[in-house]
Structure 1
Amino acid sequence: MTESPTLLRRQLGRFLRECREATGMTIAIAAAEARLSATGLQRLESGHSKTPRTQAVRELCTIYELSSDEADKAVDLATKAAKADDEGVVTLGGMFSDAFNLYASMERSARRVITFQELIPGLLQTPAYARGLIGAYLRGGNLEELEHRVEARVARQVLVTRKYSPLRLEVLLHESALHRVIGSPRIMAAQLRQLAEVGKRANIVLRIQPFKAGCTWGKPPTPFVILDFGTDSRGNIVEPPVVYLDGSVSSDLYIDNHETVQRYHELAEDIQRTTLDEADSRSLLRQVAKEYDRDR
């Protein structure tokens, strides 16, 4: 599938902006250090530079004291962005390290996330549930790596728990997620009770799609995430929304084609019409949690 330069440029710009901000440099200072104009660096960070120069990107990586591995990946991203065709879709596999993860970066920048899932979303997982999932994926991986990944996943949850401008999270969760045992009945009981509590937060909407709802649009939907980046003070869209599809063992898929993103919004709306309301969803979570207690 063709790679979208828009998405690649946005990721490159987001990465460079985060690195600059981590150093405490202003755009003016960083631009002067890299022998760029402030406007040029601003365009690069916003993803509006259609042909990002690899030499400038490498120079910025040096100024920000990045590792050679991260610098190489940034330069590779700039190269791909300059060559790709603008089809509104990008496929990425194991190309990024944890520090250079495209989805995590987008999630940090998003103001609203709408997701349909058949597993508990990472932003709402208990450490024990996350450990069960990640441990199964690593298949005998070392304990240190497992705990690192669990800690990283749990750390992301500050996006929805922080006091200032928390992420608005709208979760459409299929009932199968409540009955698919991850770890043990004890872990599931704790996870479902935690979901019932976190669902009370003003910035979180959690609704269960019951089995009896059947298949939306005639077949079970593939889990998806819609990331919305909001508007600025003038009402202009900060970044176009993106749909993320987890590729599991293959490449992840990112879509910013307007028509396709709109179709996913329509799908989410139709799924929501078949879900329980928030109060009934919390009641179902507590009911299934009690059933797990009896199985312990």
Structure 2
Amino acid sequence: MTSTDADTDAVPSSTLPRRQLGRFLRDRRDANGFTVAAAAKLVDLSASALQRIEAGQTQKVRKQDVRALCELYDVGPDDTDAAVGLAAMARTQSWYHAYGGLYSSAYNMYVGLEAGAQQQITYHEHVPGLLQTTDYARAIIGAYPGFSSRDDIDLRVEHRLRRQAIVTRKTNPVELEVLLHESALHRVVGSRRIMAAQLRHLAEISKLPNVTLRIHPYDAGLAWGMPYGMFTLLSFETSTKGEPVEPPVVFMEGGPTQDVYLEKPEEVRLYSELAGAIRSTSLDERQTRELIRRVTKELERDQHRPIQSPLVQEQPQRQSECLR
């Protein structure tokens, strides 16, 4: 870890500096043979506080605590200064903090990682948040029983649309690959009119040079012969030395339960291989757009026909707070 490494982490998220600092301190503690409890006691921290710092789960990291830990671990002056610099960056307020307590800290961590990622590969069974239209997002968010206030829903929709800037920005947009199950095209969210507009948006945004959209059709069956659920693989930039500023991470939305982050190299590799298996049996980009346009025409033709299933409009089912 060098001061150059810290400088290259100038991304619009405080999440990456927190995680870099936590991993650095954890590695140095392990290298010196300290337990969390022993190290925390020697620098006048609680064990839980040090655990949160090492996990990148706290934004308020005091510089004096970082210096004390570096002194305890016999860290050189250059690396100590770099660690203190990461602590300062970790305290920076990212844009999503302006939305207060709308979402959990776990979700805010995901948004921070998403904002700092160079590449995102995701498998979804509904249109992911980065590609949702306003009306589709409103129908998804409004279906959740806990979000009943119009102002609350409006704020969450605004939050979701702001996240999409990483796809369309002119400078360093995220390289986004979406593997979308065909069911997402046929599951009517909101209304057929909303769905038709959403699919037209998918067809258009998939033309961007940084976006790859491929449909995994029904007749492709299950990759690896098992249900695997939705997942997202985030990869990050490299430093001037060619090293990643943050190891890749796999995120799986927990729905009504806790979200899951996988960081072990073997776990990340497994999901990378799974994405490859899904990709290998997906339609190519031209076939994907043709299918989307065909389904769009069907929705437009039938948009005034009553929806038989009370999927979203009449009796909303519980959905997670995010549905990313």
User: What number of residue pairs does the alignment pair up?
Assistant: 241
Q: Which moved more, 1:286-295 or 1:230-239?
A: 230-239
Partner of 1:96: 105
How far did 1:39 drift? 4.7
SS in 1 for 2:143: helix
The 5-angstrom pairing of residues 220-259 of structure 1 reads 220-259=227-266
Which of residues 120, 128, 135 in structure 1 aligns to 2:127?
A: 120
Q: 2:243 is matched by which residue type in structure 1?
A: N
User: Identity of paired residues, percent?
Assistant: 43
Matched, 1:154 2:168: no
Partner of 1:204: 211
Per-residue Cα deviation, 1:23-75 (whole angstroms, up to 9, x for no partner): xxxxxxx969x98888546325658xxxxxxxx99xx96xx799xx99xx9xx
Q: Structure 1: how far apart are the matches of 2:93 and 2:219?
A: 55
Q: Which runs of 5+ in 2 are unaligned?
A: 1-18, 24-51, 69-76, 304-324
Preserved CA contact (<8 Å) 1:245 1:254: yes
Superposition RMSD in Å = 3.4
Matched, 1:43 2:83: yes
How far did 1:174 drift? 0.3
How far did 1:197 drift? 0.4
Q: Structure 1: how far apart are the matches of 2:241 and 2:130?
A: 30
Matched, 1:284 2:295: no
Q: Which runs of 5+ in 1 are unaligned?
A: 18-29, 48-55, 74-93
Matched, 1:185 2:192: yes
**Against the structure 1 CA distance between its residues 269 and 65, is the aligned structure 2 distance closer, same or farther, given a 3 Å change threshold?**
closer
How far did 1:232 drift? 1.6
Partner of 1:275: 282
**Against the structure 1 CA distance between its residues 291 and 65, is the aligned structure 2 distance closer, same or farther, given a 3 Å change threshold?**
closer
How far did 1:220 drift? 2.7
**Against the structure 1 CA distance between its residues 45 and 285, is the aligned structure 2 distance closer, same or farther, given a 3 Å change threshold?**
farther
**Against the structure 1 CA distance between its residues 154 and 38, is the aligned structure 2 distance closer, same or farther, given a 3 Å change threshold?**
farther
Q: Structure 2: how far apart are the matches of 1:287 and 1:118?
A: 19
Matched, 1:134 2:174: no
Q: 2:83 is matched by which residue type in structure 1?
A: R
Preserved CA contact (<8 Å) 1:16 1:45: no
Preserved CA contact (<8 Å) 2:250 2:263: yes
SS in 2 for 1:172: strand
